[in-house]
Amino acid sequence: MTTPIVQVKNLNKTIKGKHIIKNVNLDFYPGQITGFLGPNGAGKTTTIRMMTGLMHPTSGEVIINGTSLQKNFEQAISNVGVIVENPEMYKYMSGYKNLQHFARMHNVPKSRIDEVVKNVGLENRIHEKVKTYSLGMRQRLGLAQAMLHSPKFLILDEPTNGLDPAGIREFRMYLQKIAKEDNVAIVVSSHLLSEIELIVDRIAVIQNGEIINIRELTEETVSEYYLEVGQKEKFASLAGEEAKSQNDGFVVTISKDEVPKFVRKLVEAGIDIYTIQPITKRLEDQFIEMTGGGAIDAIR
C-alpha cells in the first residue's frame, strides 16, 4: 500500500478546559485529493491550523513526509504549500516578479519558476502586472506560488471562491493535473459541495471534533433503485416494505449485490420490467445524512 505523505495521529486540542479536537486520525496520500468537510464549529479550522503548525496540539502528532511537525517544524513545513481564499500578491509587480520574490525565500532556481508558470498556463501573461489579472489568473498565480518549492502536501481554502464556471473548471483541471503528475497530496475545503464532488477522490468529515466518516467517492454508494413495471399491484405486494411509490414507478431500497436476485424474482412472478436505474446520492445529500443537516463551513 502507498505510504501516506501526511499522518495525523491521535490529535487532541483542549482550549479553556473544553476538549475541541478528539483523537483525530487522518492519512493523506500522494496523488489523492481529499475534501475536508464539517459543519460550522466542527473543529475543521482548528485541525487545519495544527496540521500547518499555526497551533500546537494538546497531544498527538502530525508527520509530514516522515518528519514530525512538532519535533522538527522547519523541515516538516518545507513540504507544505497553502492557498487561502484570494491569494495575496504584490499587485504593482508582475506575476513573474512575485514568483521571483517568493523563490528567493526558498532558494528556488529560475528553471522551477518557468516550470510552474507553464504548469498553470500563465506563460503568456506572467510578465504583466498582477493588477491587470482576472481573479482566475490570480488564483492560478497563487497556485504557482504554492507549488514553487515542490511541496508534497497542498492545502486549499475556498480555492474557487469568486470564479465563474469556466474559471472553476479550469482551476479544477490544474489541481487534478498537479495531484497526478507531481504526486502531491491535496486537501480542499469549500462550502460548494457540488464543486468538491467534482474535484476530490475522497472526503473526510469532522463533527464535534471527531472524524465521523472517511469515504472514497469512487466507492459504490447506491442503495436505492427506481423501477417502472407492469402489474403494479402485484409488484407492490411482492416487494412489500422494500418498495415505495414514486411518480409512475417505485423506489426500492436494496444493495447492488441484491439486484440480480430481485430482478429474477420479478421475472419469475410474471412482472414486466420497463426501467431499472440506480439512484446515486449527491455529496450534499450524503453530507446532510452524515451530519444531521449541519451547515457546511470553510476553513476560517
In a 3-state reduction of DSSP, which class is residue 102? helix
Q: How far apart are CA 148 and CA 164, in angstroms?
A: 26
Cβ atoms within 10 A of the Cβ of 128, count? 14
Q: Quick one: pLDDT at residue 293?
A: 61
Q: What is the pLDDT of residue 287?
A: 61
pLDDT of residue 127: 96
Report the alpha-carbon distance of residue 280 to residue 225 in Å, rounded.
9
pLDDT value for 288: 63
Q: Which three cell numbers stand for residue 103?
A: 523563490
| Helix or strand holding residue 15 (H, E) | strand 6-15
What is the crossing angle of helices 232-239 and 259-268, to 10°? Answer: 130
The whole model's pTM is what?
0.73
Give the pLDDT score at 298: 44
The pLDDT of residue 92 is 93
Residues of the chain short of pLDDT 50, as ranges, are 219, 298-300
Instruction: Identify the CATH assignment for 6-216 out of 3.30.1370.30, 3.30.70.270, 3.40.1160.10, 3.40.50.300.
Output: 3.40.50.300
